[in-house]
Amino acid sequence: MERQVKWLGRVDYEPTWRAMQAFTAERSVDTPDEIWVVEHPPVYTLGLAGKEEHLLKHTAIPLVKTDRGGQVTYHGPGQLVVYLMVDVKRLGIGVRELVRRIERSVIDVLADYGVTGYGDVDAPGVYVDGAKIASLGLRIRNHATYHGLSLNVDMDLTPFSWINPCGYAGLQVTQLKDLAGPVTLQDVAERLLPHLERHLAVTEETA
């Protein structure tokens, strides 16, 4: 069943999150998976088990308590956000394997730009030389995921210094522009989507 890709542009976080919840609540076993490609205005989001003490400085940037996994992270202009509404049961893999496949998709797109990324089994996401370049957070409901990944492309990284990113004090963050030169969100998204499709299409035996 073919996945539908929707390019939503720059949209506010909270209504997008509510739309993901609604889509997941209303989907059936016959509903095609969807991938939403978005960019958000500045916002901090705090996961279900998130602790507000990881927000080190209160600014004009709003904080939204959301229902994904993980701690606090930042979304802002110049960051590529890809939301994955995927029927995990149909895919035939576990959530941990799904996370690994999403990470591999990001690692592959970084490699397209000559950048070497890697995952961390203890801290979901993708890293380059110890600095985090992509975050992952999912929620499972009725055997289907929502939320997804964020990849720092060409953005102001300053707001990350006002939090403990993903709950880790002193965790450095980086972005593709600083590692590979000028890049556009559109180009990175167009390169990332085929990698996602490839990794989400293979069977568990051939992954």
Known binding residue 199? Answer is no
Q: Is position 161 annotated in a ligand binding site?
A: no
Catalytic residue among 134, 166, 179, 185: 166
**166 carries an active-site annotation:** yes
Q: Would you say 31 is a known binding-site residue?
A: no
If we measure between CA atoms, which residue out of 126, 8, 27 comes closest to residue 86?
A: 27
Say which DSSP state 163 is in.
B
Whether 143 has a binding-site annotation, put simply, is no
For the chain, counts of helices (H) and of strands (E) = 5, 10
Q: Is 136 annotated as a binding residue?
A: yes
Residue located via tokens 């590979």: 180
Q: Is 148 annotated as a binding residue?
A: yes
List the end-to-end C-alpha distance of the chain, in Å, as a whole number: 19
The tokens for 120 are 């961390």
The binding site for substrate comprises 68-75, 135-137, 148-150
The binding site comprises 68-75, 135-137, 148-150
Residues carrying an active site annotation: 166
